Chains A and B, each alone.
Chain A
Amino acid sequence: SQTIHQWPATLVQPVGSPLSLECTVEGTSNPNLYWYRQAAGRGLQLLFYSVGIGQISSEVPQNLSASRPQDRQFILSSKKLLLSDSGFYLCAWNPHRNSPLHFGNGTRLTVT
């Protein structure tokens, strides 16, 4: 069966520091991969998605970037965090874009 791993679970970082969140999927090949952010009182916002290695589409231009160095690995990064980057970051995958979306357990990021 397929599983998705996301880490770390929680992270507290000072403003201006770099960020790296990692997500891996097991038990499948060539999945579509997604990064969502959930801010308090707001719905989930799609940040990036990837349909293959090295292929990244950005939905919201901002302080963040994403990379897919391997088939089942998706990384969310920032060179310098802002206070507004605080939130709950969720990685997700599906085998085909019209199939159900499955989420990881999320990373709670607090920028201080």
Chain B
Amino acid sequence: KQEVTQIPAALSVPEGENLVLNCSFTDSAIYNLQWFRQDPGKGLTSLLLIQSSQREQTSGRLNASLDKSSGRSTLYIAASQPGDSATYLCAVRLPRGGSNYKLTFGKGTLLTVNP
């Protein structure tokens, strides 16, 4: 059974700092991995999707990396801003069969960027 863990559960940093959020998964046979952010009381916003054949994806100040063999992904946020404050979740998709429709989510990291 695939399990996804995100450490730390909460992180507080001063504005302008570069930071890394971690995601680990137990079954390395994934199809892809997706990072989301969730603002309080809102739905999830897709940030980046990394296919299993890729090592990283970049969007603006965000960079996500994937090391499938070790079961790890990181989300790097450069020059953090107060508007980056949110919960960040990662999710993995299994490669085949009916389970391919299902994303397994971590519980998220609550990020607070202090002005």
Q: Tell me whether A and B are bound partners.
A: yes
B87 to chain A, nearest CB (A): 10
* Cβ < 8 Å to A, chain B residues 77-115: 89, 91, 93, 98, 100-108
Is A102 interfacial (CB 8 A cutoff)?
A: yes
Q: Smallest Cβ distance from B3 to chain A, in angstroms? A: 10
On chain B, the number of residues with a Cβ less than 8 Å from chain A's Cβ atoms is: 25
B contacts with A: majority SS = strand
Q: Is B7 at the interface (CB under 8 A from chain A)?
A: no
Complex contact A57–B101 (CB within 8 A)? yes
With an 8 Å Cβ cutoff, the count of chain A residues facing the other chain is 25
Asked whether any CB of chain A lies closer than 8 Å to the CB of B49, the reply is yes
Q: Which among A34, A97, A101, A108 is the interface contact of B100 at CB below 8 angstroms?
A: A97
Tell whether, in the assembled complex, residue B41 and residue A90 are in contact, meaning their CB atoms are under 8 Å apart: no
Among residues of A, the one whose C-beta sits closest to the C-beta of B42 is A105
A82 interface contact, C-beta 8 A: no
Please determine whether A90 and B49 come into contact, CB atoms closer than 8 angstroms. Answer: no
Chain B residues proximal to chain A, CB less than 8 Å: 4, 31-32, 34, 36, 41-46, 49, 89, 91, 93, 98, 100-108
The segment out of A14-22, A38-46, A63-71, A73-81 that lies at the interface is: A38-46
Sample of 20 more A-B contacts, CB < 8 Å, known A57-B98, A105-B43: A6-B43, A41-B107, A42-B107, A43-B4, A43-B89, A43-B104, A44-B91, A44-B105, A49-B102, A59-B102, A90-B44, A97-B93, A98-B31, A100-B49, A101-B34, A101-B103, A102-B46, A105-B42, A106-B42, A108-B41
